[in-house]
Amino acid sequence: MAQRSRVVEAALVVTVGSLWALPAQAYLDPATGSMILQGLLAGIAGAVVVLRLYWKRFKAFIRRIRGLPPLPEPGAAIVEPKAPDEAR
């Protein structure tokens, strides 16, 4: 419970401190906006690359959670079990 009260206390200090903040005399030039946009696009592109790298593992994980059998490897021969009277 002591940990929770410290978090609430820190949030209160940050909130009160932000209410008394003085106005900043700052200037954001046009290049700043393009840098922010470039950073956002790079983050999205990075997320897509990571998703593509781990897509098969993610699908296998979901299949395992649902209790489904794993998918066969690409290029593997599909062997169907024969009925008992066809085995002779």
DSSP line for 12-47 = HHHHHHHHTPPPP-----HHHHHHHHHHHHHHHHHH
Mean pLDDT taken over the chain: 82
Q: What is the pLDDT of residues 7-28, one digit of tens each?
A: 889 888 888 888 877 777 888 8
What does pTM read for this prediction? 0.46
Residue 37 clears pLDDT 90, i.e. is over it: yes
Angle at 29 between CA 25 and CA 30, to 5 degrees: 150
Q: Where are the domains of the chain?
A: 31-68
